Structure 1
């Protein structure tokens, strides 16, 4: 199986769906296996190249996949029955509408074209609703909780397509937003720092609280691009891992009120944090400090565990700690340790004849990932 170079594995309803192929060759394919046994259930060749982003997703018993047209003027959305692999529908999309944005609360596929926001039933391909937002520049950009945030500060309800509110000048930076209680967390242009973290009321768009987030402008094409907000928010705690304004230590806020709940005992410089400085796990945060990853509890900042590896990948209740070894010029391997994110106890260890691992996915006591050679692994922990 050839690794597609992107989000490759999705687990749902006891099945493991895998995207194989490339974005530069017409080799895109979907493979589906029984998660418990590894038995292949079905395979579908798409006879196209994958889109560079958002290759596939699973929603409501349907697998949606996005490929490029050969002339690169747009693409195709493919829909398959997740259990059998039977093709349900296929539809061309323009370059401006390309994406697989699924509004999870309603189960609808959201797209935008020619000034319209469209909610589509992923099973049938039929439109449930269409909302005119007046301009192509107002197309859907961010999905967060019940809302679809469009350009020029307009929020649309994902279930019905109804316009809920408009806040002039409101545009989340990095095209990111995250639901938090009855609020909406997003990055915005800062008042005393280049970037603020802002919580707005989801029902009205009014600002509830704001805090300086970082002292430098992110490079959207670099390694310090905007960090996904869900990596900062376990439960109702919001973690501020970077220096900004007068803040000198990693700090946690009550996400509902914006009040400080605790600070970590060392400064950013002492901890050795970089621009992308934390990974969220169930009920906590993993900080990549200079002496190895450190996991703190979200509610009070107490230390959970520390590891001596450099790379940390998280999925659900698990953290994968990995490092690459070399014996001779052409002999490399990756050592992997799976630990419980809550306690740090080792649940599984192993080695792979590869120098890379894809992003893991977890379901129950199973952790699944692709290694750099394209081999699919399912580990029961």
Structure 2
């Protein structure tokens, strides 16, 4: 009997893989028998830079310095520390001039709570919060996430009252869908306070819409005084080719939610970046505003983020080249095998026949290949999101193996 449990569909400690990693190196996880597994899920989308020794040694050195000072914890609401502003400056350098300030959190789920609070503080148009989100989107499992995650509404139906009145829009699958959804939004947007947007439906299977659609979506929301929240926990930090998905657009969201690859998953860590106009409103607002949790601004999280952000800023061009190379390899190999897939940057989903996805994932595990399982109302399959540091030859060999397996399950 294990003396811990997970709420993972059931109250259990069963996991997707029958694997106990004991170490990691490069882009591989190793078990006690020293068998290696290629991580094509980037540690649940956290470890975009893989498990590189030099990077982890730099973080370890900074951890040692903090622990020698016996300062792993200070309260960000009571004390100041240089790293708070240093990390914020590097984040804002990567996001560009559109954003003015950073608020630290512990996770993507907490980001959703904070973003909804900010919308309530600044933009509540009636007695109830009125929120827009996409069906099949995912925004975490805290109270706000339970309210606005479209993909989990069936299992979350018992949690009422939720954060507010939430309307779920279809996520467009084609140009006709895009026109229909924008037309629908034009008629209703003025009644809403905020829209929480996952620009690419990562957990649901890497669905993405056109750049034109997102520009028009943000324009309509801005014209109707609706605060826009981009949840880039999954898409952020180069996964779509640019540092952030919103940078593909001419329009800019009001709030940007980040976590996961922000510090390569080394500690629990997240943040929200606040656009300049919204920052001004928050400063001028006289309403009492409150949000904190004990570990916000944890110094181990701060220095791990600082190290990873240094890498992103220094290696920006080479990372973007690596993402293009990974995307091309996926497209070339899967096109040649007539595989049904969706790809943007390093984010790829491969559709299987109903009931076949879990079997395929387990077959790949036996081959030493780790991927992510997705299931939505329309389909199921596997998602692939390799680290940027993956060897091209290894990737192409592995994709060819995956393609052969997939053909038996599509």
On whether the aligned pair clears a TM of 0.5, the verdict is: no
More strand as a share of residues: 1
TM-score interval for Structure 1 and Structure 2 normalised by the shorter chain = under 0.3
- Under a length normalisation based on structure 2, what TM-score does the superposition of the two structures give? 0.23
Higher relative contact order (CA 8 A, sep 6+): 2
- Under a length normalisation based on structure 1, what TM-score does the superposition of the two structures give? 0.24
